Amino acid sequence: MKILIWADGGPRYASLLAARQLPPGAEVVTATTDDEALAHADTAEVLIGWGNARVGKLLPHAPHLRLIQAMGAGVEGMLANGAAESSVPLANAKGSNSEPIAEHVIGLVLAFARGLHIAVRNQAHHTWNSRAVRGVEIAGQTLGVLGLGSIGLETARRAKALGMRVVSLERPGRTRPPEVDRLVADKIALAAESDYLLVATPLTPETHQIIDEATLAAMKPSAYLINISRGQTVDEPALIRALQEGQIAGAGLDVTTVEPLPADSPLWDLPGVIITPHVAANSPRTMGRVMDLVAENLRRLAAGEPLLNLVDKQKGY
C-alpha cells in the first residue's frame, strides 16, 4: 500500500505516522508541490492531506486511489476541489482536535467574563483602571452551541462542569444529549437565549453565513459571539456593524473570512474583540491523535473493514 502525504511539513507527518503500526508492506512518501504529488499519483492508494488540498489535480492521474484522508475536520476545500465528484471515499479527522478547541472556547468565555481582554489592553498602555475591568460569574450563564459535533459536545461538557447552562438546536431524530439542558427550535431563539453563542458547525452551503444580521440582532447587548468553525459561517460586515453599534458586547474569533485577517480590518481595534490566528486546535497532542486515527483507517482499509469518519459528500461533513 503506497501512502502519499501531500502537505507542507510532510516528512514530519510521515515520521509521526511511521511510529504507528501500519499495514504490512505500507510505503509512505511525501510531496509538498503539485509536481511532486503527480510523480506518485499513478501508484498511490491513499492520499493524506489537509482539508484544502488540491485533490482535483491528482485524481485524474491516480487510478489506484482507495482513500482520501484529511488530517483535519473541515473538508470543504477538498470537496470544492475534486473530492465531491470522485468515487474515492473521503474521511476526516473529526474528534482529534476537540479537546484543545473546547478548552480554547472556555478560555475565551472566561476572558470575557472576567474582563481579561480589557485588562490586557490596559496593560499594554500602562493603565491601571479597576473600574473598566468588571467581572461576572459564568455559573448560571447560558452557552448556546450551534453545531453539536465532537467540538460542541466537548465544550458543552466543560461549560456544564463550570456551572453553565447549555442550549442547542433541535434536529430531526436528535435526542437531547446529557451535556445539553435544552433544545430550541431555531437559531434566532438560540441567539436570544445565549450569553455566549458558539459557532462550531462545519462549513457547508447551509451554514455559509448562518450568523447573519438577523441572528446578531437577536442576541443580547451583553452577549458574546465565539467562532472556532470557519470565518465564512459569519456575515463579517454584519458582525462588525453589530460590534460598532453595541448590538453585542464582543466576539472571540479564531477564524475570519480572509486569513490572515487583513491589517486594515476594523476587527483588530474593536475593544470587545479577541482574535486568535486559527490556533484553537493547537496542542502537542493533537497530531498524535490525528495519526492514531489515520493509522487505524489504514489498517481498516487493508483489512476491508468499515472506515472511520467517512464524510457524507452531499452534506459536506
Catalytic residue flag (residue 305): no
Contacts of 17-21 with C-beta under 8 Å, sequence gap 24+, read 17/48, 17/291, 17/294, 17/295, 19/291, 20/291, 20/292, 20/294, 20/295, 21/295, 21/299
Give me the residues paired with residue 167 across strands: 144, 182
Q: For the residues of 116-171, what is the DSSP string, one character each?
A: HHHHHHHHHTT---TTT------TT-EEEEE--SHHHHHHHHHHHHTT-EEEEE--
Catalytic residue flag (residue 296): no
Given the residues 85, 137, 245, 259, the one annotated as active site:
259
Given the residues 45, 154, 230, 236, the one annotated as active site:
230
Burial degree of 268 (CB within 10 A; 0-12, 13-18, 19+): exposed
Catalytic residue flag (residue 40): no
Secondary structure letter of residue 266 according to DSSP = G
Residue whose entry in the numeric block shows the C-alpha cell 453565513:
209
In this structure, are residues 241 and 186 in contact, taking their beta carbons and an 8 Å threshold? no
Which is nearest to 65 in space by CA: 97, 30, 33, 41? 41
Burial degree of 236 (CB within 10 A; 0-12, 13-18, 19+): buried
Given the residues 66, 278, 289, 300, the one annotated as active site:
278
Q: Would you name the residues annotated as active-site residues?
A: 230, 259, 278
